[in-house]
Each structure stands twice: as C-alpha cells, then as structure tokens.
Amino acid sequence: MTTTENARSLRGAAVGETATIVVGLGPVTSSVVQPILGDKIRFVADPTAADLSEAEGAIVRAAYVVDRTTLTSMPRLRVIARTGVGVELVDVVAAAERNIPVVVTPGSNTNAVAEGAFAHALHLVKRLGPLTSLVRSDRWDERTRYPIGDLEGSTIGIVGYGRIGRRVAELASAFGMIVIAYDPIASPPLEIAVSSLAQLAARANVISLHVPLTPDTHHMIDTPMLSRLRPRTVLVNCGRGALVDLDAALDALSSGQLSGIGLDVFDPEPPQHHPIFDHPDVVLTPHVMGLSVRATEATFIDAARGIVDVLAGRIPAATAPVPDLQKELPA
C-alpha cells in the first residue's frame, strides 16, 4: 500500500470502530475509492482474515476468484462490486443464495477496450511487428517483403454490437472503413447489420470480437468459420478468450486465410503457451486493453458508487443477472 493509500485508510479508520468495512479483492487503489465511499466507510486495500470477517462490501478486481470459500470467509458481506462486466470468476449462485447483489461497471472501460481493439487492428494491417523486427535486425533491403494494408475503404466486421462494438464502429468510420455488424443477441442498425456470422466473415477484411462467452459463442471462430473468410483477413479478439479456437486460427494463419491475429484475452488466464504466440503476425496483450489509466479510475469509481448505493438501500446502476436458484438445485 502506498503512503497516500495508507493515510486514507487511517483517515477512514478514525471514524471509529463502528465504521463499515469494504475490502479490496485484487489491486484496488484506495485513493480513488475512499473519497467515493465517504467518511462512514473504511476501505481496506490489503485485507486480513479479520477484515474479511467484518467486511460488508467487496470491490473485486482482475483475476481474483470469489468462490464459496471466499464468501464463507465474509459472513457479513452485503454487496460485491466487480470491476468490468465479466462475472465468470464470481460464484453468482452462492452470492444469490445469500441475497448478495453483484454490482458491475458497464461503460467505464468502453472506450479503452475499443481503442485497444483498434490498436491491434492497426498494428496488424500496417505490419508493425515484422517491420520492427526487420529494422532491428539490419534487414532494410527486405522491407518490400511485407505488403502494408489500408484501413480506408476496407470493411470491418464487428461481432457484438454493444457499447464497445458501437465505439469500434465510430473509430472505424473515422478511418473511412465500411462497417458491418453481427450480434447473436441484439440487432445492430439495419444499415450495417448482416444476418449471420458467415455473411460477416465472407465480406470483412478485419473482424473484431466483442460478444460475451456463452455455450453458443464458445469457439464461434473455428475451422468451418475460418474457411469462410476472405483471404488475408485480420482477426482481433478483445472479448473472451474461448471465442476463438487457437488451433484453427494457427492453421488459418499458416494457410494465408488470416494475415494476422490480435489477442488481448485468453482461455484460461494466464494462458499456457500456444504455438500461435510465436507467429510473427500475431500481437498479444495480457487482457489489459480495458485497463488504461482513465478507464481503471472510472471503473473503480463506478464500483465504489455501486457499493455505496447498496449499503444505503438504493438500487445500483448495474448488477449481474440474478441466477434462477431453482435451476441450480441438483436433480
């Protein structure tokens, strides 16, 4: 904990022994969340077992797993706030059994993820990886071996047209790209919508994935789908790792069906090494495209506001869906 964070925690502690405790599970910046929580709530960034036993709220960050054991260690817990929107690492069933809402923070990192996806696409279309290697290794005369693509006039296919997908569309339009979109859950605007993933694959030069992971979207990018791509398509996945079958993607890179692939998400995380990681036309980032300085602060603030709302008896801005406990009972 930094000196500033420690000072703020002590300031919260000065409220008295009856102060409500909210803990950070994973790295959460005290100096950002404590002012939002206010003087009657003490934020503990590095909780002990005793802190967990007294905690009434928890802000969950990054790869921290909140399972039944974790929940059992927090008998007074009244609310969980998960930074971002993915709750696959939170046992929402166990939380629901105790009537603990799981607050999420949609929108706080929308622009950061969209910019990250677009950065991956630019990197791959402009061949920045192999061209950097070429200059670094004194192979200047080989520069024409790597044809450089253009975004202007090319087609981007956006899979998943929620907040992030819409922002990717805005960025792509600013570059003069033609935008098409497919969403298996909600319908994009008619002027850009295509009726199937296969139709999108047949038309797009760049494909960017922004759908949640469900049984229907697991490995939605597989060998049959990749075979439908236009030659030398660029694929970017800033959604969920298991959307893409990496074995099939490597085959598509080797055959030229894909000219590049950008991955910010993996299955599992952290991932085991895959041969695709060594390909020169692959760019890899460790699930951080949504963690820009501004986005991280915004998601901490939204999480803290959700905690305050629940503890005050108000409805928070956004929560994860409450599971049907009857369906979860063993047969």
Q: Is 88 a catalytic residue?
A: no
In the block, residue with structure tokens 């038309």: 203
Q: Is 269 a catalytic residue?
A: yes
Q: Choosing from 163, 166, 240, 279, which is the catalytic residue?
A: 240
Two tokens, residue 209: 């994935």
List of residues 6+ apart from 68 with CB closer than 8 A: 91, 94
Q: Is 240 a catalytic residue?
A: yes
- HEC assignment per residue over 89-157: CECHHHHHHCCCCEEECCCCCHHHHHHHHHHHHHHHHCCHHHHHHHHHCCCHHHHHHCCCCCCCCCEEE
Residue 194: what residue type? V
Partners of 319 in the β-ladder: 103
Q: Choosing from 88, 170, 269, 328, which is the catalytic residue?
A: 269
CA distance 143 to 149: 14
How many Cβ atoms from other residues are within 10 Å of residue 248's Cβ? 19
Looking at residue 52, what DSSP letter applies? H
End-to-end CA distance of the chain: 47
CA distance 83 to 70: 17
User: 152, 175 in Cβ contact below 8 A?
Assistant: yes
Q: Which residues are catalytic?
A: 240, 269, 287
